[in-house]
Amino acid sequence: MATTDTTRVATTETGRMGRVAYARIAPNEDLVQGVEKLCLAEGFRHAFVRGGLGSLIDASLGLRDGGYQQVAGPAVEVVSIAGEVRSGPDGAPVAALAGIVADTQGNVYGGPFLAGWNPVCVTFEVTLEEWLPDTETAA
Amino acid sequence: MTQSLHAGYHRPRMLRHVGRFSPVRIHSMHHQSGRHIRLLLAPGLSLYDALVRPLAEIGVTSASTTILGGQFARLEYCVAPPDPSGHAVIAYSPPIDAGAAYLVFGNATLGKDMQGKALVHCHASVRVASGEVKGGHIVPQASIVGAQPIPVLVTALEGFELRQALDDETNIPLLKPFKES
């Protein structure tokens, strides 16, 4: 029977929560890149989304085959969101965000938000909590 | 038809708002740490009162909250279609009565309105009385917590506060972070 070797994959990371940042992202800014820019602005390398709500002009949600589902607005309301931001050795933050959106009839759709393709309509409020891995803070 | 499946590139569209473009695109503030609170929304109260009152009693007036799911005796929500008046690009619809609805997951921001009164801005997905799942902007004063308490994870914002102010670009009053007054 074939088995999957998972021994080289780090599945746990211990650490602690650090600073808390709140931002209002303005219209026409991309949701995903806006969260990444927030991390650059506040100096967060890694973070978790603690809360977020707002509206998008249209939403683009990634599909398994590499395509996307487009939900037309305006406005498409973001009614659930979760995700994290991670920075690599170059320090550039990369946000991975997923959630549920509602169209102008209240119908709901869900999936990952594609970076660059989810422009804010009126406002997006987001709260991030900084994540400080022990491996980066022990020294 | 409000959704479609695609492959390949598309150019995301932008909107021109009614007011003057603001050069500040990401308006942020931070504090050295967050204060976390587990709150139970009390049965029979409106979502507004069930959030605002107990948090005010412990000195919390600005917060980001996650509503972890629970039954409401009744719930109202709005959607946000284009504003035909041209006053802004969108406007909230009249409240939609969801009846006895189950709030699946929601986020609510607590701040102060332009008169200094507590303001709750909540978006959520809900299973409405008919069984359909819908989503939108919850009307907190008109949505009544059901018979069981509903847990909420609160991240209190300290060192700054959230206040509603008229946003010149969109011509809509919005929550933004400010130094504490």
Q: Please state the domain extents for chain A.
A: 16-134
Render each residue's pLDDT in chain B as its tens digit; 181 residues: 467 788 788 899 999 999 999 999 999 999 999 999 999 999 999 999 999 999 999 999 999 999 999 999 999 999 999 999 999 999 999 999 999 999 999 999 999 999 999 999 999 999 999 999 999 999 999 999 999 999 999 999 999 999 999 999 999 999 999 998 7
| pLDDT at position B1 | 45
- Taking the C-alpha atoms of residue B179 and residue B156, their distance in angstroms, rounded to an integer, is 15
For testing the chain B interface, which of A63, A108, A122 should be mutated: the one with the most B CBs within 10 Å?
Answer: A122
| Full pLDDT tens readout for chain A, 139 residues | 555 565 677 799 999 999 999 999 999 999 999 999 999 999 999 999 999 999 999 999 999 999 999 999 999 999 999 999 999 999 999 999 999 999 999 999 999 999 999 999 999 999 999 999 999 876 5
> Is A5 at the interface with chain B, CB within 8 A?
no
CATH architecture label of A16-134: 2-Layer Sandwich (3.30)
- Strand-strand pairing, B35-41 and A68-71: unpaired
Q: Which residues of B touch A113 (CB under 8 A)?
A: none
Listed by number, the residues of chain A in 63-102 with a beta carbon closer than 8 Å to a beta carbon of chain B are 63, 65-75, 77-81, 100-102
d(CA A34, CA B108): 20
φ, ψ dihedrals at B180, nearest 5°: -65, 135
Q: How far apart are CA A92 and CA A106, in angstroms?
A: 36
- Is A23 within 8 Å of B177 when comparing Cβ atoms? yes
Sheet holding B3-6, edge to edge: A59-62, A68-71, B3-6
Distance CA(B32)–CA(A130), nearest Å, equals 10
Specify the fold of B35-178. 60s Ribosomal Protein L30; Chain: A; (3.30.1330)
Amino acid at B92: Y
Q: Which of B1, B3, B77, B172 is most worth mutating to test chain A (most A CB atoms within 10 A of its CB)?
A: B3
Structural domain boundaries in chain B: 35-178
